[in-house]
Structure 1
């Protein structure tokens, strides 16, 4: 990665100035509070598709609401995005072309074209995509440890959720894009964020539909290793699980409990990662190029399901 332009890089002793795009539950509970609390950042302002929601969140976070997203992009060093992926992608492209660093959510886009355009636009800025497991204090070291080992034979990574189960009451159930795109696009990135660092690039994708939005994936990796994922947002609540199990010459490795530190702390670690990437000019493993790779695999899976 080439160094960002001087205009987009903050003074060495100063905080990284952020604009927050989005006003939904994730922005309210995670993105906004984490950006305010982080010692290396300053939250300059908030923009949302509903000006009244932006004003309310900005007031809660003691910052300014912007009516014009381009005005906010012009006033900051970096943007954090808490928006549906197909709204996130073009806004992130605009920000990257303006020299702004990117802290994005997964998936970065739901089309291969959109993901590739974003990866191309972000070549000269720092970027981090918030894959929750890759920044969890419990899961991240475990993933790194397994990625450093050879001799893997097979593995699985499952995310079986229930936010759309009949009796579930989740704040995320009102998300139109999740309901439309289902588990493949919402929690599929989480599973891939575990499997790809360990087993490597995917050469073949096969998908099978289960009940409701449930999807089963079978992946062949370029290394010859195979892996599977079961993904759902509609399973019965008592059937829900987030798990990974890897098998190889070292035996069996199981993903530890991931919920100990919570999403707020994990997002703070993602902010750390972006600040460090800006400082050093070194790309992070979970940058937009990795995000684009995940989108391409999910698009292939979707085509297989058709």
Structure 2
């Protein structure tokens, strides 16, 4: 599979480009970005071709890996799908339900493979743990806390310069991660209630289709000393906790690329496809409505 990279920012430079250059079974064919000079630098560093013309890149590859803000991802994903390119997407797929739906519909209409890269969902220990808990069932309630410090005092995060994160906050940045872990175990959400906490912190309560409930605590402004992630489930099987992350996003992205290759080869949709990405956006949009109007929102 010939794959191109859309994006040249820190996430593309630190994670996507190295993985695409190293991954067996694919050819890292080229890089396109909104800054041509950055495309040139990133492509040359990994033996790929820089493209100034996006349509030419799409014509030359079988798939694209998108490492761009969600404010622009949807339009480019639809454009790539119309060029019959399989899609490796970043989360969230988009910042509005109509935009996310356009991506999912384009993937379905053109019969393409798609994978949304939720980093922990593709973790080496986390993937089998999620599958095991989903098979176990009988869960009464769950919680998932994602407390980051991207915008905390003294932060040196390279993502602190991200305008969309500053605008949309933790709900849209780390909220997708938490949902990507809870939904496959507890089932789809049917109702969400959201309340604000300190700074950008948001607390969600979900009611799931099977009757279970869950809570989420999401922040990008937690003090560094209070940061971290966790997930806990309680049910007839007892109390279990998600294994701690022991690796960075590079290994996880390799697994996401493997998932895209399998889906393209077999024609079978991956559980983290564009349709699942749309569902995550629908729930997040419901949480926004709950914050604005107060009270629970059906999703």
Answer yes or no: same fold by TM over 0.5: yes
For the pair 1:135 / 2:122, whether they are aligned, the reply is yes
State the partner residue of 2:272. Answer: 286
State the partner residue of 1:38. Answer: 23
State the partner residue of 1:218. Answer: 205
Q: How many residues align?
A: 290
1:50-129 residue pairs with structure 2 within 5 A? 50-123=35-108, 124-129=111-116
What secondary structure is seen at the aligned counterpart in 1 of 2:211?
coil
State the partner residue of 1:192. Answer: 179
Between the aligned partners of 1:265 and 1:255, the Cα distance in structure 2 is 18
State the partner residue of 1:12. Answer: none
What secondary structure is seen at the aligned counterpart in 1 of 2:265?
helix
Instruction: Kindly state the Cα deviation for residue 184 of structure 1 after the two structures are TM-superposed.
Output: 0.3
Between the aligned partners of 2:44 and 2:138, the Cα distance in structure 1 is 53
TM-score (norm 1): 0.94
Runs of 4+ residues deviating >2 angstroms: none
Instruction: Kindly state the Cα deviation for residue 138 of structure 1 after the two structures are TM-superposed.
Output: 1.6
What secondary structure is seen at the aligned counterpart in 2 of 1:148?
helix
2:259 maps to which of 273, 278, 288: 273
What secondary structure is seen at the aligned counterpart in 2 of 1:119?
helix
TM-score (norm 2): 0.96
For the pair 1:257 / 2:218, whether they are aligned, the reply is no
What secondary structure is seen at the aligned counterpart in 2 of 1:229?
strand
Between the aligned partners of 2:72 and 2:239, the Cα distance in structure 1 is 40
1:170 maps to which of 147, 157, 162: 157
Provide Cα deviations, 1:79-107, integer angstroms capped at 9, x if missing partner: 00000012011100011122110000000
Between the aligned partners of 1:58 and 1:135, the Cα distance in structure 2 is 26
CA RMSD of aligned residues (A): 0.7
The answer for unaligned runs of 5 or more in structure 2 is 293-299
Between the aligned partners of 1:79 and 1:47, the Cα distance in structure 2 is 10
The answer for unaligned runs of 5 or more in structure 1 is 1-15
What secondary structure is seen at the aligned counterpart in 2 of 1:122?
helix
Provide Cα deviations, 1:19-69, integer angstroms capped at 9, x if missing partner: 100001110111011011011111111001111111111111111111111
Instruction: Kindly state the Cα deviation for residue 261 of structure 1 after the two structures are TM-superposed.
Output: 2.5
Between the aligned partners of 1:154 and 1:85, the Cα distance in structure 2 is 31
State the partner residue of 1:298. Answer: 284
Instruction: Kindly state the Cα deviation for residue 140 of structure 1 after the two structures are TM-superposed.
Output: 1.1
